[in-house]
Amino acid sequence: MNHKNIVERSLISKKGDLKYLGMKNGELYECIITTENPDKTSNAAPIGVLCKDPEHVILYLYDGTHTLENIKRSNFFVVNLTKNSLIFTKTTLSDISEDNFKYYKEYPYIEEADAFFMVKTEKIKDITKNNSLGSANMSIITGKVKNVVKIKEFNQPLNRGIYAVIESLIHYTRMNLADKNTQISYWGRIKEMNRVVQKVGSKEDKLSMKEIITKIKSEYNNLE
Amino acid sequence: MNHKNIVERSLISKKGDLKYLGMKNGELYECIITTENPDKTSNAAPIGVLCKDPEHVILYLYDGTHTLENIKRSNFFVVNLTKNSLIFTKTTLSDISEDNFKYYKEYPYIEEADAFFMVKTEKIKDITKNNSLGSANMSIITGKVKNVVKIKEFNQPLNRGIYAVIESLIHYTRMNLADKNTQISYWGRIKEMNRVVQKVGSKEDKLSMKEIITKIKSEYNNLE
């Protein structure tokens, strides 16, 4: 198709190995997933990607999203890594235009990404998830990592774990100056950050949250 | 002093240039500052470091902290960069033991850091800061960056900007499923994240928050 740019020769591609991108087993990273729409245009959406092992990722997708429909139809998706917050913002608030995509062997990626990799769907499991707002249908996608490509000087993938720890530490240090109601509010926030860390973080992040929570429980009463 | 380890020969040192560590003018990074106590032991504390330009940093320190007292006495400090959340946790919750430090030309740094740089104090300005909890005495320290040292394969310094944007986007996407009270709580959270971004973030982060806030104001009424 003539609207699809040829990938630049300078791109370095490696066979599926997420260690090459600094991704670690069991951690969940903030990424942008690009897929192909039925009309052959491209779709982009910000989605958490769990690194199962260096060759496999897992996605949890709600029913009714373009990303899920596209993956179920075409059996592939591309995971884009970026540190540019504007790309996350634009893909969340609206659809981005076709100008923002490039193509690597027919697979759409985001031109401004730092790195990306192609994934072939291996397994799709449909589940119903119950939460405080009711129940929702979801699919759990397991995919096999194919080519991994660095575009720019690539640093590391975006993991929220350490930021949740730092935010918890900031709240902890403010607790001793705060009144009881504010302490309870900070404590609620720290428990929320703990949930984030248990979901996305590293071993160090999880151990950090355990130490912070133990410390707070030893210093403050009646926070629950 | 024989307890001070000799710095490893493999360390690469560069004359003051924060660009070498990926630090950008006007951004504030989460770091660990190490200083020398009066008894020649070392002190470590997690502190935000503002990159004024590639050769200068600015710190805002409350009166009464060991870090400030040590800097006022010795006129130097060391800025350590790390992505290990346990180092932030341990230095916040308690003092770390002398075993955790190494020395580079008499300057203490944290052995497990990814990189560090020495700073010589150029200017100290004492101010009184008023906030919701009353007034507090602070010092604004401006320092000149001396040797910059990478220890491990170094990625990039820790900036909370993009995480504040991502957290705002997560809250935004949940708002349309939430009741009015929860929407107001999410909106309060987004405004707090905007304050973080204005203080620490990049141009892209600031523009992202502007777009998110404009979008929410156009879609929701009576949130203030």
| Residue A218 at interface with chain B, using a CB cutoff of 8 Å | no
pLDDT at site B136:
86
Going by pLDDT thresholds of 50, 70 and 90, the confidence category of residue B4 is very low
Evaluate if residue B8 carries a pLDDT over 70: no
Residue the block writes with tokens 């955790």: B100
- The single-letter DSSP state of residue B103 is E
* Residues across chain A: 224
Q: What residue in B sits closest to A214 (Cα-Cα)?
A: B93
- For domain B12-150, the CATH class is mainly beta
pLDDT at site B126:
95
Residues in B touching A165 (Cβ below 8 Å): 85, 88-89
Residues in B touching A84 (Cβ below 8 Å): 204
Going by pLDDT thresholds of 50, 70 and 90, the confidence category of residue B2 is very low
Q: What residue in A sits closest to B31 (Cα-Cα)?
A: A166
A161-219 CATH fold:
Methane Monooxygenase Hydroxylase; Chain G, domain 1 (1.20.58)
Show pLDDT as tens, one digit a residue, over chain A (224 residues): 334 444 554 566 677 889 989 899 999 999 999 999 999 999 999 999 999 999 999 999 999 999 999 999 999 999 999 989 999 999 999 889 999 999 998 899 999 999 999 999 999 999 998 877 678 899 999 999 999 998 887 667 899 999 999 999 999 999 988 899 999 999 999 999 999 999 999 999 999 999 999 999 999 987 87
Q: Which whole-number Å values give the CA distances from A14 to A107, A149, B70, in the listed order?
A: 16, 6, 49
Residues in A touching B150 (Cβ below 8 Å): none
pLDDT at site A130:
85
Q: What is the ipTM of this complex?
A: 0.85
> Which string of DSSP letters, residue by residue, matches A57-99?
EEEEEETT-HHHHHHHHHSEEEEEE---HHHHHHHHHSPPPGG
| Residue A98 at interface with chain B, using a CB cutoff of 8 Å | no
pLDDT at site B11:
63
Give pLDDT tens digits for B121-146.
999 999 998 877 678 899 999 999 99
Q: Across the interface, do A163 and B161 touch by the CB < 8 Å criterion?
A: no
pLDDT at site A177:
84
Q: Which of B148, B160, B156, B142 is nearest to B52 (CA)?
A: B142
More confident residue, B22 or B110: B110
| Residue A204 at interface with chain B, using a CB cutoff of 8 Å | yes
| Residue A89 at interface with chain B, using a CB cutoff of 8 Å | yes
Top residue of A82, A89, A206 to mutate, by most chain B CBs within 10 Å, is A89
Q: Across the interface, do B93 and A212 touch by the CB < 8 Å criterion?
A: yes
Identity of the residue numbered B148: V
Q: How far is CA A8 from the centre of its chain?
A: 26
pLDDT at site A10:
54
Evaluate if residue B117 carries a pLDDT over 70: yes
Evaluate if residue B12 carries a pLDDT over 70: no
Residue A173 host element (H or E): helix A161-175
| Residue A29 at interface with chain B, using a CB cutoff of 8 Å | no
Distance between B14 CA and the closest CA of chain A, angstroms: 20
Evaluate if residue B87 carries a pLDDT over 90: yes
Residues in B touching A30 (Cβ below 8 Å): 166
What's the whole-model pTM score?
Answer: 0.86
Cβ atoms of A221 and A175 within 8 Å: the answer is no
pLDDT at site B38:
95
pLDDT at site B133:
66
- CATH 1.20.58 domain extents, chain A: 161-219
- CATH 2.30.110.10 domain extents, chain B: 12-150
